[in-house]
Amino acid sequence: MSMTPEGEAYVRWFHEANVWKFMTWHGIRTLKLPSDVWNYQEILFERRIEHVIETGTRHGGSALFFAETLAARGARGPVVSIDVDSASRQLASHAGIHFLVGDSAAPALADQAFALLGPDRGPLFLILDSDHARDHVLRELRLWVPRLRAGDYLLVEDTIVNGHPVRPQHGPGPLEAIEAYLAEAPGLLAPDAAREAKFGATFALRGYYVKL
């Protein structure tokens, strides 16, 4: 799956003009492409998502977005948001969010996150959006994907770095991690090509999957 030429041009402009650095969700900084955020809320409603796990809290805007969207759907929640530190976080606390601090590729953090959902959890939306180095994202995929249940949703953010089409100097990143993981663990994830292509542009190129 790839973006349309127009979509790729828009993503390049949006990223290189730094528009994404000056966006907020209800006052909290949120580093997203708006059409991706629209896609996410549609996924949460259409797939009856009950919980969100997010790696990479940063300022907290996306965690707030997910918590408010789950509440609007009447979902059980919570949102569990993980980051290596809390220094950048603008959102101190929220009733629908559990903030965890630590390595998002560490088994102990995954255990803690799933414990917060409870044993009878419902459908889950997992979004990987922390350290964008290939090796880190690959560690996350190896840790988290086997813990997902059939029908859970996986979103891998910022696959556009390393020249896909932005930041060619980045080095291997999330897209290369996905390619490596799909090669070593076939049959676990089904790409959601229609959802990815809906708006013709995305920060999650080849990053939309359903757990089989």
User: Which SS3 state, helix, strand or coil, does residue 65 take?
Assistant: helix
Going by pLDDT thresholds of 50, 70 and 90, the confidence category of residue 136 is: very high
Going by pLDDT thresholds of 50, 70 and 90, the confidence category of residue 3 is: confident
Measured CA to CA, the distance from residue 58 to residue 138 in angstroms comes to 20
- State the DSSP code for 59: T
Q: Find out whether 196 and 207 touch, Cβ atoms under 8 Å.
A: yes
| Amino acid present at 126 | L
Q: Pick left, alpha or beta for residue 97 (phi over 0 → left; psi -120 to 50 → alpha; otherwise beta).
A: beta
pLDDT of residue 7: 94
Element (H, E) at 210: strand 208-211
pTM strictly above 0.85? yes
- Indicate whether 4 pLDDT > 90: no
Tokens encoding 12: 């390049």
Domains in the chain: ranges and CATH = 5-211 (3.40.50.150)
Q: Find out whether 199 and 35 touch, Cβ atoms under 8 Å.
A: yes
Average pLDDT, the chain: 97
Rounded average pLDDT over 31-39: 97
